[in-house]
Structure formats: C-alpha cells, structure tokens
Amino acid sequence: MKQVLIIGASGGVGAALAAAYEGRGDAVTRLSRSVDGFDITDERSVDQHLTALNGPFDVVLVATGALEIDGAAPEKTIKSISQKAMLDQFALNAVGPALVLRHAGDLLRRDAPCVFSVFSARVGSIGDNRIGGWISYRSAKAAVNQIVHTAAIELARSHKSSICVALHPGTV
C-alpha cells in the first residue's frame, strides 16, 4: 500500500487520480481549496497545511492549475497582455507548485523510491511553440518546468531514489 498525497484533489483530474489510487488500495491524503481551504497561492496556507501532514509519502501529486483565472481568457496576441492576468497565472501555475516543492524533502520518503509530480502543460515548452498566443499561461508553465527541473536536481541529493517530474495531463 502506498501513501499518496494529492494536492488539488477536488478538481476533475485530482479527484479521478485520488479515486484510482484508493481503488488500488492505497492510502490517499487529499488537499484542496474548496474542501480544506488549502490555497496554493498563499505561502502561509501552504506551510500550515503541509507541515500538519503525517508523511512520508510515496507519491505527491500537485494537480492544480488553470488556463482561465477570474475570467481572463488566454491572450491571442502579445498586445493583449494584462499585468494582473499574468501575475495570477504565475501565482497559481508556477509559484504555488514551487511553494509545495519547498516541502518535498519533508513530504517524501528517503528510504524508498518515491515520486513528486507537478502538472504542467505541453504549451509550456519553449521549443514546441509554433503558433504563439497564450503568453501568460505558456510563460507560467515554462517557469514551473524549470522549477521542477531545478527541484529534481536538489532533491536527488537527499532522496537518492526519488523522481521529480512535470507531467502534461493532456487537455482537461
């Protein structure tokens, strides 16, 4: 039986993953804004919730993120950039997962293989952008890819059997 932590467990993908793990007999700890008041964009909320958990976990999944925030649709052109929309994208899709990753060393097992995964998006690929648009969302996802990459390097020093990865769940 694995110990699994799913952040964003009330969303469609997070809830489905939680149900799948539970269906396999794994113990799932769920955190979400709507059920637990876990706000991934608020440093105090992240620290308070994550330090209160009983770990370690075999799997930590950060299944949060949004393409539209507060009605701000993805930009079709760079001329449409809004400071607020861009900052909101970074807060939710990059800074939030970084705040959770700050706790990875305490959340994950040191004595066995473990996985820390953050949902990203293929559109965060710099090399795979051939049509432009969606500047704020793309940039935030590119940032979270770099955050996860850097965290993986650091985590490997203390958690030799860990995997730290950004995942593209597909269009949801």
pLDDT digits (tens, 9 = 90+) for 4-15: 999 999 999 999
**CATH, range 3-167:** 3.40.50.720
Helix ranges, the chain (H):
12-23, 33-36, 43-51, 83-90, 96-101, 104-107, 135-158
- Comparing 133 with 12, the larger pLDDT belongs to 12
For residue 86, how many C-alpha atoms fall within 13 Å in the half-sphere facing its CB? 13
- Sign of dihedral through CA atoms 57, 37, 24, 27? positive
Q: Quote the pTM value.
A: 0.94
Number of DSSP helices (H) and strands (E) in the chain, helices first: 7, 5
Query: Which distant-in-sequence residues (6+ apart) come within 8 Å of 132 by Cβ?
Result: 77, 78
In the three-class reduction of DSSP (H, G, I as helix; E, B as strand; rest coil), residue 90 is classed as helix
Each residue of 73-132: pLDDT tens digit?
A: 999 999 999 999 999 999 999 999 999 999 999 999 999 999 999 999 887 777 777 788
Torsion of CA 51, 110, 8, 94, to 10 degrees: 90
pLDDT for res 172: 67
pLDDT for res 6: 98
Mean pLDDT score of the chain, rounded to an integer? 95
- Of all residues in the chain, the percent with pLDDT exceeding 70 is 99
> Max Cα separation, the chain?
51
Torsion of CA 84, 116, 127, 136, to 10 degrees: -10
